[in-house]
Amino acid sequence: MTTLYTSDHEWLRIEGDVATIGITDYAQSQLGDVVFVELPKVGRSLKKAEAAAVVESVKAASDVYAPITGEVVEVNEALAAEPALVNSDAGGKAWFFKLKISDKGELGGLMDEAAYAAHTA
Amino acid sequence: MLAHETTPLKQTPLHALHLARGAKMVPFAGYDMPVQYAAGVLKEHLHTRSAAGLFDVSHMGQLKLTAKSGKVADAALALEQLVPQDILGIAPGRQRYAQFTNADGGLLDDLMVANFGDHLFLVVNAACKAEDEAHLRAHLSETCEIVSLADRALIALQGPKAEAALAKFCADVSSMKFMDAGPRRVADIDCFVSRSGYTGEDGFEISVPAAKAETLVTALLDNPDVLPIGLGARDSLRLEAGLCLYGHDIDTTTTPVEGALEWSVQKVRRSGGARAGGFPGADKILTQFTQGAARRRVGLRPEGRAPVREGAVLFADPASGEPIGKVTSGGFGPSLNAPVAMGYLPTALSAAGTSVFAEVRGQRLPLKVAATPFVPNTYKR
């Protein structure tokens, strides 16, 4: 299992041909208290960099972009009932959605943990 | 863009204190202001409703209006040429909400006016303060002295524990009622204190000489009941309280009647009153008082969990039809644990309980018109 990161502060956990996607702890700390999460529909095809989900704090709404191209195979329904999970466990229980990866070649452009740590330093 | 980047942000006398307390700073009305501290907007909001919050609002304008005759009544009558409120009727030691109107009946700014016995004390919005001062000088200079009190900071102490927190430094504040205002010695500092605010909670606004602001705020914060609160929670608190934000919920295109601010225009200034009219836009505003206006500001409660924010277009129908209005303020109300909004609708659709729809990310979300305040206020009357 590999974890990769985007410069937009999303993480991807790669297991076989499925990527689980969420936002990083750094991203949640910048957003502040999350009060609403809108997730994509299962079955939707997303192109890399397309707006896929919305995360709203008390202050503002922010888009979450598809970090790679793929089809949505599962979404985290728990976030609808408990958006604050994004603040308490951004890297774990607060995953947003899972994508069936279309092109593994797109993963090459993403950062590993060390590169992401340097990016946010 | 370039002009903005090269204009240095102004700082309030409490700027260093904000940084020392870990505030996240943002530009607001030309000032570098704290939007939140480490606790975050949600906790800061809830703390203000359950204990006490301290806000730096020193970016706002403070003005002293004195009649050249020396009589405060003459300053009041002069100011009545610019606002539709009964200023003459503000008793010494009292304060009232007012608006500067324009010739079209729109609002140039909203403000607080206090009678300090021998002069009037005005508090105006930060973004409008230069224009407001120029407006006063242009119209009232013949009869009044206008002094900008730029050497004073302004803080707000709000919430159910505000009285106890302030009474440690000024016992006299406990006897003040909502909208009482006047000079008080607080922690041996010459302050102006009013029992008012912008949160819907009981509380105080305290004008303090800039040089003493940090001393006073440090003393007030040396109390576990009092936390510093940023502009983020100030906005969610005033929205839950149903209070207008100038430049958003009211502006130069909205009249007091359209803005649902009829309560703020006393009968003496309306048609048939002893001092009816005599302010800019009086014809239009007074006609709206008798005949009504085509649109009206309303409270809105989204039925789902998604916040409906400023700018969202409103529709009568879930699928078709023309826009009927717009959201002017919207977000999440932490005390309600639900989204709340305000906006303008045709008066015929402005009754509480009316169903409307807001377009958010291509979908029409249902909302209901709701009475404001969304959270009951706790003013000490």
Dihedral through CA B19, CA B22, CA B24, CA B26, nearest 10? -10
**Distance separating alpha carbons of residues A108 and B73, to the nearest angstrom:** 76
Q: What token pair was written down for B145?
A: 């002295």
CB atoms A58 and B332 under 8 Å: yes
With cut-offs at 50, 70 and 90, classify the pLDDT of residue B5. low
Pair B120, B87: CB distance under 8 Å: yes
The interface predicted TM-score (ipTM) is 0.89
Q: What chain B residue is nearest to A38 in terms of C-alpha separation?
A: B306
- DSSP lists the bridge partners of residue B203 as B158
**Distance separating alpha carbons of residues A114 and A104, to the nearest angstrom:** 21
Q: What token pair was written down for B46?
A: 């809830």
**pLDDT (mean) for B181-195:** 98
**Is B22 in the A-facing interface, judged by CB distances under 8 Å?**
no
pLDDT tens string, chain A, 121 residues long: the values are: 799 999 999 999 999 999 999 999 999 999 999 999 999 999 999 999 999 999 999 988 999 999 999 999 999 999 999 999 999 999 999 999 999 999 999 999 999 999 999 999 8
What is the bridge-based pairing of β-strands B203-209 and B189-194? antiparallel
- Which residue among B36, B45, B307 sits closest to A56, beta carbon to beta carbon? B307
> How many CA atoms lie less than 13 Å away from B225 in the CB half-sphere?
16
Q: Which of B24, B41, B329 to mutate to test the interface with A (most CBs of A within 10 A)?
A: B41
**pLDDT (mean) for B99-119:** 98
**pLDDT (mean) for B23-49:** 97
Q: Enumerate residues 6+ apart whose C-beta is below 8 A from A3.
A: A11, A12, A13, A14, A112, A113
- DSSP lists the bridge partners of residue B130 as none
Q: Kindly report the nearest CA distance between residue A16 and chain B, in angstroms.
A: 33
**Distance separating alpha carbons of residues B1 and B5, to the nearest angstrom:** 6
Phi-psi region of B173 (alpha: psi -120 to 50; beta: other; left: phi over 0): alpha
CA-derived radius of gyration, chain B: 21
Amino acid at B199: T
Q: What chain A residue is nearest to B309 in terms of C-alpha separation?
A: A60
Among candidate residues B334, B329, B296, the one with its CA nearest the CA of residue B312: B329
Cα B232 from chain centre: 14
CB atoms B306 and A80 under 8 Å: no
The number of residues making up chain A comes to: 121
Q: Enumerate residues 6+ apart whose C-beta is below 8 A from B320.
A: none
**Is A78 in the B-facing interface, judged by CB distances under 8 Å?**
no
Q: What confidence score (pLDDT) does residue B2 get?
A: 47
